[in-house]
């Protein structure tokens, strides 16, 4: 029996296999409202055997978006759009978590939703990310210097409200987007967090924001709360020296492992050059072996928090990670492979080739282009 196809208890649910679909922000909402095109996309992947689907990154407020058509979860129309998606996924026998997102300093004052929000681009500190990639703002505006967020608890409240809305929509759980240089990561990283209050400085202080978020959302979702982290940094100008990286993420994982209510899982992204950036001739990320470095910070026995890995992992490696006999890795999230293979889990189970190429030019859609293209038109083989 393949280790990948053994059921797994996660919080209050049981998933039928260890093959997750990672959040893949594809920009197919209308404004911020989830659409039937998105419903079709998720339904295809639920039918394709996904053990657990994590949604596109879902914005918790208009403020903190770099996107034109990323979905949100702060009003009733969004709840109704998501409910249709959740019901379709459940109808096909799969489970679905909402990934909650705030982009912090990598939003832009000219992003459509940020304009509507009527507030500045907030971040832990007034430190700009280098680079910039605003797909829907003409020209190449680059990142701005953000405004220091006066009171992080206001954003904790936004996440909690989004979680309440996720509950109304019927989601099975919440995954925090704590990776890839967005707001949560910006608080953790000393290169973007120079605060002098209790949310900055020491490792304990930089981890405070995310631990407060976890507590607030667990009030709503109990044991069905998870987080994704990318300790290697890179993307969105994120990263610390190696010893500080290990001290920061090691501390956070040890705190998570000891929470009164455990998280359902932690997903750690491995180093992946695809999510690193080159700055001044060097790669920004802090390359290290994520599994070997951090697995020892989960000290509880039996392990209270399941560990998933993600990023650039091939199916045969996935089987090795999960079936190594040590029990360190409970499951794997695949990303791009799910875009091009709506039946990815079924293909892996049936030993069918994973051979559809992803059309990167159609990944994000574009105004005036049929949103199904490069999204709902990949063919199933099983
Ligand atoms: C992206 O903008 O391509 C993107 C969004 C969210 C991520 C990673 C990449 O976590």
CA distance 358 to 361: 9
Ligand 1 atom with minimal separation from the 66 CA? 2
As given in the structure block, the two tokens for residue 165 are 């809305």
Task: Please state, in angstroms and rounded to a whole number, the distance separating the CA atoms of residues 32 and 58.
Answer: 9
Q: Which of 97, 122, 143, 182 is catalytic?
A: 182
Predicted local distance difference test score (pLDDT) of residue 112? 87
The closest residue, in CA terms, to atom 4 on ligand 1 is 25
For ligand 1, atom 10, the nearest C-alpha belongs to: 180
Superfamily designation of domain 8-311? Aldolase class I (3.20.20.70)
Ligand 1 geometric centre to CA of 66 (Å):
10
Q: Where are the domains of the chain?
A: 8-311
Whether 182 sits among the annotated catalytic residues: the reply is yes
The DSSP secondary structure of 259-319, one letter per residue, reads -SS--SEEEEEPP-GGG--EETTEE-S----HHHHHGGG---SS-SSEEEEESS--HHHHH
Mean pLDDT, 10 residues at a time, over the chain (382 residues)? 92 98 94 96 98 97 87 98 98 98 95 92 97 80 94 98 98 98 98 98 98 98 98 97 98 98 98 94 96 95 94 93 90 97 97 93 89 96 90
Strands 52-59 and 95-101: parallel
| Nearest in space to 70 (alpha carbons), one of 24, 21, 118, 110 | 24
Instruction: Pinpoint the alpha helices (H) of the chain.
Output: 36-47, 76-91, 112-117, 152-169, 183-188, 203-221, 242-257, 290-294, 315-322, 336-340, 344-349
> What pLDDT is stored for residue 365 in this prediction?
87
Closest C-alpha among 281, 134, 100, 127 to residue 190: 127
In angstroms, what is the span from residue 179 Cα to ligand 1's centroid? 9
324 alpha carbon to ligand 1 midpoint, in Å? 30
Give, using CA atoms, the residue closest to atom 6 of ligand 1. 25
- Using an 8 Å Cβ cutoff, are 291 and 309 in contact? yes
Q: What is the pLDDT of residue 1?
A: 59
């Amino acid at each position: 029996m393949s280790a990948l196809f053994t059921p797994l208890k996660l919080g209050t649910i049981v998933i039928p296999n260890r093959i997750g679909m990672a959040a893949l922000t594809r920009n197919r909402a209308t404004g911020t409202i989830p659409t039937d095109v998105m419903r079709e996309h998720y339904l295809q992947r639920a039918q394709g055997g996904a053990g657990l689907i994590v949604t596109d990154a879902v914005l918790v407020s208009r403020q903190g978006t770099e996107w034109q058509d990323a979905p949100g979860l702060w009003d009733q129309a969004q709840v109704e759009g998501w409910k249709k998606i959740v019901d379709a996924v459940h109808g096909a026998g799969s489970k679905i978590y909402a990934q909650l997102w705030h982009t912090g300093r990598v939003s832009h004052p000219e992003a459509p939703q940020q304009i509507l929000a009527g507030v500045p681009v907030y971040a832990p500190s007034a430190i700009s990310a280098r680079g910039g990639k605003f797909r829907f703002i003409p020209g190449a505006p680059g990142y701005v210097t953000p405004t220091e967020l006066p009171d992080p608890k206001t954003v904790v409240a936004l996440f909690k409200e989004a979680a309440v809305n996720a509950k109304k929509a019927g989601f099975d759980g919440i995954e925090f987007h704590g990776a890839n240089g967005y707001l949560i990561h910006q608080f953790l990283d000393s290169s973007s967090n120079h605060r002098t209050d209790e949310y900055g400085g020491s490792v304990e202080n930089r981890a405070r924001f995310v631990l407060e978020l976890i507590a607030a959302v667990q009030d709503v979702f109990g044991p069905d709360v998870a987080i994704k982290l990318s300790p290697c940094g890179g993307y969105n100008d994120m990263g610390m020296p190696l010893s500080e990286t290990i001290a920061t993420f090691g501390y956070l994982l040890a705190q998570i492992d000891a929470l009164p209510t455990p998280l359902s899982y932690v997903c750690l992204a491995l180093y992946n050059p695809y999510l690193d950036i080159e700055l001044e001739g060097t790669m920004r990320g802090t390359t290290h072996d994520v599994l070997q470095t951090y697995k020892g910070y989960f000290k509880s026995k039996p392990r209270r928090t399941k560990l998933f890995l993600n990023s650039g992992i091939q199916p045969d490696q996935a089987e090795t990670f999960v079936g190594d006999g040590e029990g360190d890795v409970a499951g794997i999230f695949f990303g791009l492979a799910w875009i091009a293979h709506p039946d990815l889990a079924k293909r892996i189970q049936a030993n069918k080739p994973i051979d559809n190429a992803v059309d990167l030019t159609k990944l994000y859609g574009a105004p005036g282009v049929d949103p199904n293209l490069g999204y709902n038109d990949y063919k199933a083989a099983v």
